[in-house]
A and B are shown apart, each in its own frame.
Chain A
Amino acid sequence: MTDHGHAGEGLLEVEGLTIVLRHRHRPPATIARDVSLRVNAGEIVGLIGESGSGKTMTAKSLIGLLPDRMEVVSGHARFRGRDLLHGGDPARVRGRDIALIPQDALHALNPVKTIGWQVGEPLQVHGGLRQRRIATVVGDLLERVHIPDARRRAVDYPHQFSGGMQQRALTAMALSMEPPLILADEPTTALDVTIQAEIIDLIGELRDATGASFLFISHDLALVSSFCDRIYVMYAGEIVESGTRDAIFSHTRHPYTRALIGAAPRLAGNPERLPTIPGRIPQPHEEIRGCRFRERCPEAGAACGEAPRLDTADGDHAFRCWYA
């Protein structure tokens, strides 16, 4: 590992990031609104929200991978103090400084290239390593993510790997340049529960071994509860609550976070209890006055007609609610 970022400052600092989707004959829709977040060196940070909350696009904007019609209209993102959004070629950052572990492992792998070739590709693109050396490094990487018989399996094609092993290979791929920051985009969603746990363990283990930071994107609050240091909860493009794991779980302030904790199937307690949140997440183009969660909120009151600001209570714990 290289240095762990500037002392006293986050490895990644995002401030007031706003992403819009340009539309041919409609006004632009806001995908993410005034998002601020920070990842410190060696930290695992959870970014949690339902699908459509803007969490994935927030992450992708950092490495310049927004889809065609989406763009960042305001805000800053700094990686080790360097501007990520304006100027500079994002292709140089990708894979080397910030790597991505994509979701949907099978489709995220090129079907006609071997696993080993794909895991080693960042080394080919960024580093001047010799072919033989790359093969060795790839073998090491695959061993590190616990792929059995790693060196021999490196010549396999993706379809010959199981879902869990594909996800491990993608993790190895992200690690190949030993980047200080890894964005993990729902890396466990397509997997069954036992394999999910294995991948989670692997990420924790890799953080300890390499000192890399992770921004872990998920819709599953219970899943991240076990290993994230800090958590940001996103709803309809906005951060609604953020804080340390302890603050989020033990001193929950926002009704949405409370609902998410309630909605998550828990290992302990009554497994039958699975209260879902009524209603649906508002679409990005919908014009909403006041709090964006009001429609679904069990605790909404008169004040909610006006949009709440993100308030900080004690130290690091922040939430966006009038009644919290």
Chain B
Amino acid sequence: MIRWLNWRRYGLVTVTLPVVALVFLAAALAPVIAPYDPFELDVLVMLQGPGADHLLGTDELGRDILSRVIHASRVSIVVGLVAVAIGASGGVLIGVLAAHFGGAVDSVLMRFMEIVFCFPAILLAVILMANLGTSVLNAMLAIGIIFIPGFARLTRAVAQTVQRQPFLEAAICLGVGPLRLVTREILPNVIGPVLVEAAVAFSYAVLLESALSFLGLGAQPPEPSWGNMINTGRGFIDQAPWISLAPGAALFVTVFSFNLLGDGLRDVLDPRLHD
């Protein structure tokens, strides 16, 4: 019985964490584990199908697809991490401010966040990229900005429930400083939900970065990214489908496992399953 309960609570995290760790490991150790140099051209093996030499085949310039897929994970991971960091820190800050000050500050901030939230994210990202210029750095910034409203809404909601608790109202009356209130009471309560949101946001950031690269607005060739590899592969889809297939599968598996991780974290943190 007890084992089953734990499985119910920790199962999803147990299954997805290794996959997620594998993706991070691949990104970190890309130069070591990639069988070939991802930039190395080899005209003799152009558009070669998967085989013993090139496990996932080669692209139109004879580059090894597997090596490029492994290296491309770096762009995705870095963009994901930085974008989530920007979104989470910005969002938590705004959320805490809105909850703390309340009143007009709160309504103005949250109404603004609400409107930004309504924007189709990809549209906003595309426009920001067009202006900031196409680069990985700008992709992080554009995607990070898009995440701010989500984190802000979440943080504000949590902070408000925390503030309304009687013991805190008492503490506020006794003159506990706002900084102490935020660091001791609000932030510890915000961490859980923010972590869940971060896992999901990370997967979304990876998706958005790939979409931008796919449209030619993110990582620029020859720098490999899953998005631009899929885009390149489109031109050769009839003769060499593996060029699009491999990076797409890597992207899909990464996004899927991060989404599941988010679900798993929710199971772990959900008080309803505790007892």
Contacts and interface: CB of A to CB of B under 8 A. Distances in A.
Q: Do chains A and B touch in the complex (CB under 8 A)?
A: yes
Interface of A: 24-25
A24 B4 CA distance: 9
Contacts of B4: 24
B5 interface: yes
A196 B2 CA distance: 47
A21 to B, nearest CB: 14
A222 B167 CA distance: 40
B85 to A, nearest CB: 38
B1 interface: yes
Contacts of B1: 24-25
Prevailing SS type, chain A contact patch: loop
Contacts of B5: 24-25
5 cross-chain pairs, A with B, having the tightest CB-CB distances, nearest first: A25-B1, A25-B2, A24-B5, A25-B5, A24-B1
A24 B2 CA distance: 8
A24 B7 CA distance: 12
Contacts of A25: 1-2, 5
Nearest to B1: A25
Contacts of A24: 1, 4-5
Contacts of B2: 25
A67 to B, nearest CB: 16
A205 B5 CA distance: 52
A318 to B, nearest CB: 38
A178 B1 CA distance: 46
6 contacts: A24-B1, A24-B4, A24-B5, A25-B1, A25-B2, A25-B5
A274 to B, nearest CB: 29
A66 B1 CA distance: 23
A287 B204 CA distance: 51
Nearest to B3: A25
Nearest to A23: B1
A97 to B, nearest CB: 37
A24 B1 CA distance: 6
A274 B267 CA distance: 47
A229 B5 CA distance: 48
B173 to A, nearest CB: 32
B272 to A, nearest CB: 12
B1 to A, nearest CB: 5
Interface in B1-58: 1-2, 4-5
Interface centre among B1, B2, B4, B5 (most CB of A within 10 A): B1
A25 B274 CA distance: 11
A116 B1 CA distance: 47
A135 to B, nearest CB: 44
A25 B1 CA distance: 6
Nearest to B273: A24
B95 to A, nearest CB: 33
A277 B200 CA distance: 52
B197 to A, nearest CB: 28
A24 B272 CA distance: 13
B223 to A, nearest CB: 51
Nearest to B4: A24
Nearest to A26: B1
A183 to B, nearest CB: 30
Nearest to B8: A24
B157 to A, nearest CB: 26
A283 to B, nearest CB: 14
Interface string B233-256: 000000000000000000000000
A25 B7 CA distance: 13
B153 to A, nearest CB: 28
B248 to A, nearest CB: 41
Nearest to B6: A25
A6 to B, nearest CB: 45
A27 to B, nearest CB: 10
A14 to B, nearest CB: 31
A22 to B, nearest CB: 10
